[in-house]
Amino acid sequence: MVIYGMRSSHLESFDARTTCTSCGQRDKTVVSIFGRYAHIFWIPLFPIGKTAVTYCEHCKASFENKDFAPDLKADIKTMKVGTKAPVWHYSGLGLLTVLAGYGFYADGQTKETNARYLADPKPGDKYEYRIQEDGKSTYTLFKVAAVGKDTIWAYENQYTMDKKTRIDKIDIAENYATNPTPIPRSAIAKMQQQDDIVEISR
């Protein structure tokens, strides 16, 4: 379950030169500015505006937006503009940026490693790859048993998964064939060109 929503935090408070509309006391009103932000799992993502509340230190009355004293509305608008949202209100965006950057970096590293292992296959290499049939993708593995000039022999996994993130669930010894299957290296190169090879591990 994804938990998301909106929260707010206090940004700044100001003493206002105005008369309280509740008790008539002058210069007893404090204006507090609050910043609203969207969150997911309570981690702030980005600011989504500001709101203000006035509080009378004499009669303890508080007011929001439409109930502000007329002479105070313009001042509060100026206060909102001059009050900046803190950096931590953007922390979720920063985290997402870092994660996205790491994802691109990791993907590049995986492709580089795959290309290196494809050029020089070794017995014991494990290939995670995609099978595309009738518009659907499944994922499975094979382990290299022996390497020839134009062919490799591999123990094929007898099971598939519908998601590559779950492929480790079938990566157990008894799921592999006992006799190796010959696979042309040209066929493996084609799989790489079609982005069907997910990862090669050694």
Residues 132 and 85 reside in one and the same domain: no
| Cα Rg, the chain, nearest whole Å | 31
25 within some domain? yes
Range of the domain at 21: 4-89
Measured CA to CA, the distance from residue 138 to residue 163 in angstroms comes to 7
- What is the average pLDDT across 32-49? 90
Provide the number of structural domains found in the chain: 2
Q: Which residues pair with 152 in a beta bridge?
A: 147, 183
DSSP string, 3-42: -EEEEEEEEEEEEE-SB-TTT--BS-EEEEEEEEEEEETT
Amino acid 59: pLDDT: 93
Measured CA to CA, the distance from residue 146 to residue 181 in angstroms comes to 10
How sure is the predictor about 11, in pLDDT bands with cuts at 50, 70 and 90?
very high
97 within some domain? no
107 within some domain? no
82 within some domain? yes
Give SS3 for 94. Answer: helix
104 within some domain? no
pLDDT in tens, 22-36: 898 888 899 999 999
Amino acid 196: pLDDT: 93
DSSP tag of 43: E
168 within some domain? yes
pLDDT in tens, 69-106: 777 888 888 888 889 989 888 888 888 888 888 777 77
